[in-house]
Amino acid sequence: MKVKVLTIFPEMFPGFLGISLTGRALAEGKWSLEAVDIRDYAFDKHGSVDDTPTGGGAGMVMRPDVLDHALKAHYKGGRLINMSPRGKPLTQELVKALAQEEELTVICSRFEGIDQRVLDKYQVEDISIGDYILTGGEQAAQIMLDAVIRLLPGVLGNSDSTKEESFEEGLLEHPQYTKPQIWEGMAVPDVLMSGHHRNIAKWRQERSEEITKQRRPDLWKKYLDSKRV
């Protein structure tokens, strides 16, 4: 997968994407990263990329002509994404779809956002990682890309690793345990020590359902609805 990131802070990349599994996959060529400095495409010597919002208001807005200049130089097709709190939520289903793409171009907006006209021209897809505001899109882009890259072939050593994760079956993941069997007076549940795979699977399913019902009633309702279909 080819990833291009348009940002005014290219030094923020690869960031944490350059370590651990995603960093190793980057070094091994399972994905590539190009961080483009939007300021390189400004029209003045100061590298100005923003201006005051038309109609008044606080903050600054990224200019359409500058971003268009950068996109013309670097966007060659594929999915074009803007990290924005007004975008559609990033879900595991969406992550899976993004992982099928050969190329992703991600815009990291700052200030009060981007002039709508350039977003309309390129039919940019707004994606949000949650109902909160960050100082910029760079952090959100790295979170989204981490979720996507780990699903690329060969990035996770064991392809089974994702099968029981939260959201894979519409439920949150069951509790996990490891050695020692007893720690500070707390024991691993007996069923997990039984070697009875069917009982273990049943226990994990029940715990997943219980946790989802308690913590995410929205997911629990969606899960129940899916079972009625």
Is domain 2-149 in CATH 3.40.30.10, yes or no?
no
- Chain segment 191-216, per-residue pLDDT in tens: 999 999 999 999 999 999 999 999 99
CA distances from 87 to 71, 108, 149, 182, 224 (A): 20, 13, 21, 46, 27
Three-state secondary structure readout of 124-155: CEEEECCCCCCCCHHHHHHHHHHHHHCCCCCC
Q: What is the pLDDT of residue 229?
A: 66
**Encoded amino acid at 73, one letter:** A
Q: Which CATH architecture does the domain made up of 164-228 adopt?
A: Orthogonal Bundle (1.10)
Q: What is the pLDDT of residue 92?
A: 95
- Asked if 2-149 and 164-228 have one fold, the answer is no
Q: What is the pLDDT of residue 228?
A: 83
Q: What is the pLDDT of residue 63?
A: 97
Phi-psi region for residue 172, left (φ > 0), alpha (ψ -120 to 50) or beta? Answer: beta
Tokens at residue 111, please? 């200030």
List, edge to edge, every strand of the sheet that includes 79-89. Answer: 32-37, 2-7, 103-108, 79-89, 125-128
Q: What is d(CA 196, CA 24) in angstroms, rounded to the nearest whole number?
A: 36
- Domain ranges, ordered by start, for the chain: 2-149, 164-228
Look at the pTM and tell me if it is higher than 0.85: yes
Cis ω on the peptide bond leading into residue 89 (within 30° of 0)?
no
Cβ contact 107:6 at 8 Å: yes
Cβ contact 61:52 at 8 Å: yes
- Find the helix packing angle between 20-27 and 137-149, rounded to 10°: 80
**pLDDT tens digits for the chain (229 residues)?**
999 999 999 999 999 999 999 999 999 999 999 999 999 999 999 999 999 999 999 999 999 999 999 999 999 999 999 999 999 999 999 999 999 999 999 999 988 899 999 999 999 999 999 999 999 999 999 999 999 999 999 999 765 555 656 677 889 999 999 999 999 999 999 999 999 999 999 999 999 999 999 999 999 999 999 988 6
Cβ contact 169:222 at 8 Å: no
Q: How many residues does the chain have?
A: 229
- Chain segment 44-62, per-residue pLDDT in tens: 999 999 999 999 999 999 9
Q: What is the pLDDT of residue 46?
A: 93
